[in-house]
C-alpha cells in the first residue's frame, strides 16, 4: 500500500534558495522509491525525517548532474549506516559505467548489495505491491521516464469488522489476503467487510520534449 509521496526537490539545473535539485520519495508499506537524486537529496530526506536506509529503489531518468549529483552522498551514508538490504538502481544502460566509476572515484567503501537494472520500455519491476514501468524520452542525452503503479488491494471497513466482531489479527490478515474466514459458525469473505481498492498510479516525466506516446504513458 502506498503511504506517502514526498517532494524533495523541484528545481531545474540550478538549485535555488527555496528549491532543491530534483528528487521525489515514494513510501510504500515495505519499500521506498527515490525518483532521481539531485545534489543534497540526502539532507532533504533528513529534513523530512526519512532515513536514507528507507530507500530500496533509485530510479535515474538520465545522467545530468541535477538528477544524479546526490548519488555519491547517499552511497557514502548508506555505507556507514546499518543498511543491510539490496539497493536497486534503475538507470539507462549507457550510464552504468558512470555509476560504477563514481563509486570507484569517490572511494566509497560500499558494504551492501547494489542491483543495477537497465532502464527499458515497458515493465521493469514487479514487486509485491507495485510495478515500475519505463518509457524512452527525448532529451539531449539518453533519458527515460517512469511510472509506478500500486497493485489493487483489499481494504477492510473498521465498522463492519466491529459489526461481525472480527478482532483477531490472524483473521484480519486472512481477509486481506482474500481468504474466507469463519466466525460464530458464519462464513465471511472480504466482500462482506470491505472492497477492492484500485491502486494509485504516479507518472514522473521530466526533461523531454513532448511526444504523443507520453499521453498514454501518463494516462490514469
Count of residues of this chain found to bind Zn ion when the rule CB under 5 A is applied: 2
Q: Catalytic residue among 36, 66, 192, 207, which?
A: 66
**Cβ count near 219 (within 10 Å):** 9
Find the binding residues for Zn ion in span 44-83 (CB under 5 A): 64
> Within the chain, what is the greatest distance between any pair of CA atoms?
67
Give the residue with the Cβ less far from Zn ion, 79 or 142.
142
Task: Name the one residue in this structure whose C-alpha cell is 558512470.
Answer: 98
DSSP 78: H
Shortest distance, CB of residue 69 to Zn ion, whole angstroms? Answer: 12
Shortest distance, CB of residue 65 to Zn ion, whole angstroms? Answer: 9
Kind plus residue range of the DSSP H or E element containing 67: helix 65-68
According to DSSP, the residues that pair with 82 across neighbouring strands are none
Shortest distance, CB of residue 118 to Zn ion, whole angstroms? Answer: 19
Is 66 one of the annotated active-site residues of the chain? yes
Helix (H, G, I), strand (E, B) or coil at 89: strand
The answer to the question of residue 207 lying near Zn ion (CB under 5 A) is yes
The piece of 52-60, 69-77, 148-156, 207-215 that touches Zn ion (CB under 5 A) is 207-215
CA distances from 184 to 153, 158, 164, 165, 189 (A): 26, 19, 9, 9, 14
Give the residue with the Cβ less far from Zn ion, 76 or 143.
143
Give the residue with the Cβ less far from Zn ion, 39 or 207.
207
Residues marked as catalytic: 66
The contact set with Zn ion (CB under 5 A) reads 64, 207
Amino acid at each position: 500500500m502506498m503511504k506517502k509521496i514526498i517532494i524533495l526537490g523541484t528545481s531545474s539545473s540550478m538549485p535555488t534558495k527555496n528549491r532543491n535539485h530534483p528528487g521525489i520519495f515514494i513510501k510504500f508499506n515495505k519499500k521506498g522509491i527515490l525518483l532521481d537524486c539531485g545534489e543534497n537529496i540526502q539532507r532533504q530526506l533528513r529534513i523530512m525525517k526519512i532515513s536514507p536506509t528507507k530507500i530500496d529503489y533509485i530510479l535515474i531518468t538520465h545522467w545530468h548532474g541535477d538528477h544524479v549529483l546526490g548519488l555519491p552522498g547517499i552511497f557514502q551514508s548508506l555505507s556507514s549506516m546499518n543498511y543491510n538490504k539490496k539497493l536497486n538502481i534503475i538507470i539507462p544502460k549507457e550510464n552504468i559505467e558512470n555509476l560504477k566509476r563514481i563509486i570507484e572515484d569517490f572511494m566509497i567503501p560500499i558494504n551492501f548489495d547494489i542491483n543495477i537494472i537497465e532502464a527499458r520500455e515497458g515493465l521493469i519491476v514487479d514487486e509485491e505491491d507495485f510495478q515500475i514501468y519505463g518509457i524512452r524520452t527525448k532529451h539531449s542525452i539518453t533519458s527515460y521516464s517512469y511510472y509506478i503503479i500500486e497493485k489493487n488491494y483489499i481494504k477492510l471497513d473498521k465498522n463492519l469488522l466491529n459489526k461481525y466482531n472480527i478482532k483477531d489479527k490472524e483473521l484480519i490478515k486472512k481477509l486481506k489476503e482474500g481468504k474466507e474466514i469463519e466466525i460464530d459458525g458464519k462464513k465471511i469473505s472480504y466482500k462482506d467487510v470491505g472492497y477492492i481498492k484500485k491502486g494509485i498510479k504516479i507518472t514522473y516525466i521530466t526533461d523531454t520534449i513532448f511526444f504523443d506516446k507520453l499521453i498514454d504513458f501518463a494516462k490514469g
